[in-house]
Amino acid sequence: MIPENKKEAVKQALYSTFGVAWFDNVTMLTQGLSSALIFKICVSGKPYLLRIITREDAMADPVHWFGCMQSAAEAGLAPRVWYLNAYDRIAITDFIDVKPFPVDYARAMLPGLLKRLHNLPLFPIRVNYIDVVSGFVEKFKAAGIMPASITDGIFEAYSRVASAYPRDSDNLVSCHNDLKPDNILFDGERIWLVDWEAAFLNDRYMDLAIIANFVISNEDEEAAYLKAYFVPEVTEYHLARFFLMRQVLHVSYFTFFMLLAAGAGCKVDLDFPLPDFKELHTRMWNGEINLADNDARQQYALVHFKQLCCNLNSKRFEQSLTIIAQSI
């Protein structure tokens, strides 16, 4: 189960950390989209998580990845780190026994957790996220996945958002950037964040917007969620910037997952019945959807497309652009 070319490095990790030659048993964990190989191992009767990075591109740099994870672990945001070796691309951390995480509790607790994350020493800069999304848009257009008559309007609106969205340094903080349910673990008492592959210095509103996809279903919940983060009050500016970042994320998920599905030969089916936005994300929160499946990826992309079309035609969209423009 452990790759042959990594067995010796794993043996060294186990011996230097626990004084044993090998683990008692091992189970490969396949949930999620991480490119790493992830295993639950048992050593002297206690479970741990073994992670082996397999990618060798710049975005999977173990020095960066492990550095962010170590910083988060020292702050009590990520599981305890027992072993890190960037050269061998291996990490061993505590294994978290996951319990059900009620959405209402998550909505109340996660803003405070995000504040702690965003107050960590600054992670390195890697990319500007809005520029990355703009790149997804251009790749999507070039691929001809959907008729331009259907997508031109939303891409024009996205262009307005990308031009107007502030790029100020005050809101650049240490971000996780991939806070989907798979990466938010609840042990019955504490919340732990895992899989730091995508962590870098980014706009704080991105982490806030990602979590909101799963825990926010109306404006009252949104206001309470943001107030818990932006103590003591939420301003029109906070609400406008948060709303615009949510549209950036809709464009990102729509284009990225459509590109993945199309690249795997999945044909676009615009007549396929879609769940509503809240229903889909509730099912994801409950672990009922696996985005490793190409049909699920296309469905996920189209649900974001549908929500995006609705939001861009709302009064709040123009209001948010105006508020941001007036703040400059």
Q: With 70 as the cut, is the pLDDT of residue 32 above it?
A: no
Note the pLDDT tens digit of each residue in 72-116.
Answer: 999 999 999 999 999 999 999 999 999 999 999 999 999 999 999
Note the pLDDT tens digit of each residue in 47-67.
Answer: 999 999 987 776 678 999 999
Query: CB–CB of 232/315 below 8 Å?
Result: no
Would you call the peptide bond into 232 cis, given omega within 30 degrees of 0 as the criterion?
A: yes
Note the pLDDT tens digit of each residue in 182-204.
Answer: 999 999 999 999 999 999 999 99
Confidence grade of residue 246 (pLDDT, cut at 50, 70, 90): very high
Which structure tokens are listed for 109? 């607790």
Mean pLDDT of 162-173: 95
Strands 46-52 and 81-85: unpaired
Q: How many CA atoms lie within 13 A of 149 on its CB side?
A: 0
Which H, E and C letters describe the chain, residue by residue?
CCCHHHHHHHHHHHHHHHCCCCCCEEEEECCCCCCCEEEEEEECCEEEEEEECCCCCHHHCHHHHHHHHHHHHHCCCCCCEEEEECCCCEEEEECCCCCCCCHHHHHHHHHHHHHHHHCCCCCCCCCCHHHHHHHHHHHHHHHCCCCHHHHHHHHHHHHHHHHHCCCCHHHEEEECCCCCHHHEEECCCCEEECCCCCCEEEEHHHHHHHHHHHHCCCHHHHHHHHHHHCCCCCCHHHHHHHHHHHHHHHHHHHHHHHHHHHHCCCCCCCCCCCCCHHHHHHHHHCCCCCCCCHHHHHHHHHHHHHHHHHHHCCHHHHHHHHHHHHHC
Nearest of 320, 111, 277 to residue 205 by alpha carbon: 111
More confident of the two residues 34 and 139: 139
Domain ranges of the chain: 4-94, 103-327
Provide the CATH number for the domain formed by 103-327 in this structure: 3.90.1200.10
Please give the CATH superfamily to which domain 4-94 belongs: Phosphorylase Kinase; domain 1 (3.30.200.20)
Nearest of 202, 274, 216, 198 to residue 32 by alpha carbon: 198
Q: What is the pLDDT of residue 33?
A: 58
